[in-house]
Amino acid sequence: MRAMPTLEHHGLVDMFRENPALAPHLLELLFHLDLPPYATVAVVEASLDQLTPVEFRADLALELRDAKGALVLSIVLEVQRDKDPRKKYSWPVYVVVARAQKRCPTIVLVVAPDAEVASWAGEKIDLGLGRGSIDPLVVGPAVVPVVTDQAVAEKETELAILSAAAHGNGPHGLDVALAALGALGRYDHEHAAVYFQIVYNALREPMRRALEALIMQRQTEGKATFPAFAQQLIDRGKREGLQEGKREGLQEGKREGELEGKRSVLFRLLARAGLALTEGERARIQECMDTATLDRWSENVLGAKSVSDVLF
């Protein structure tokens, strides 16, 4: 059974979907690869073939074309938050099938914020008897820089988010997280909330508490402006007179923000699938207070023919 995609999984995939140029940019910036000259980057259908089983559906597929429109590189992108031995069999499929269909060089690019998962994902995949192999490129802690400079975070916001997810629990964790969150002002509320959750959920408990305290302190001192989701956490904490009340407010704000982020992801997936919602169906999603149900509905969008196939 396939693992249920999380809000963070969808958020990271959408980061590359909505900014296709990010993938080749990271290949050049982090891996120092000389890519073939290209003029455009586009997201294409991630299903490798109509007859291919669903387990061979990648998270995202991108095509680089030159000025004449000829394909020069195909990138199959996967977001990997946990070890999954099946991927060592499916990733070679992505490469050879896409290469055969598109008749151009093809690579697998794996985004893995966790160091252990990234190390596992980067292992060479032997295709059999040492006669051939696949080497996935992995965007993980080993190659993602520690971004603490606010100017750099403003210029390379997606990289800053990846840096916070990868290094947020390290020695410079607070500085990395604050740099990423401080750069979210250019996003709308929906995207800012999702990206905040990517950073926040990557942090372990002690760092989360430290981040919440520092955000509240800086906001009180007027030293920083954070996205709306962070503001909700702060304001909720301020309304409580006792410290215990503040902690409860932060937890409730976090839960409401997580629900809002999951609803936003579901709405985007439904719109992308061309599934129109009635007022009743939209209200049902808005009123859903169970994160597991929202995750299940997001998973149901894949292959759904109607909204009723999703909301069951």
**pLDDT for 224-241, tens place per residue?**
556 555 655 545 444 443
**pLDDT for 265-290, tens place per residue?**
888 888 888 888 888 888 888 888 88
Q: How many residues does the chain have?
A: 312
The helix, strand and coil proportions of the chain, stated in percent and rounded to the nearest 5, come to 55, 10, 35
Q: What's the mean pLDDT when you consider all of the chain?
A: 83
pTM over 0.75: no
Cβ–Cβ < 8 Å for 117, 154: no
Q: What is the DSSP string of 238-279?
A: HH-SSHHHHHHHHHHHHHHHHHHHHHHHHHHHHHHTT-PPPH
> CATH for 7-139, among 3.30.70, 2.60.120, 3.40.1350, 1.20.58?
3.40.1350
Residue range(s) occupied by CATH 3.40.1350 in the chain: 7-139
Give the pLDDT of residue 36: 95
- Mean pLDDT across the stretch 27-50? 85
Strand pairing category for 60-65 and 125-126: unpaired
Give the pLDDT of residue 50: 43
Cβ–Cβ < 8 Å for 200, 274: no
Amino acid found at 270: L
Give the pLDDT of residue 236: 46
Cβ–Cβ < 8 Å for 136, 88: no
Give 69 or 252, the one with higher predicted confidence: 69
243: pLDDT confidence band, cut at 50, 70 and 90?
A: very low
Distance CA 230, CA 80 (A): 26
Helix (H) or strand (E) holding 139: strand 137-139
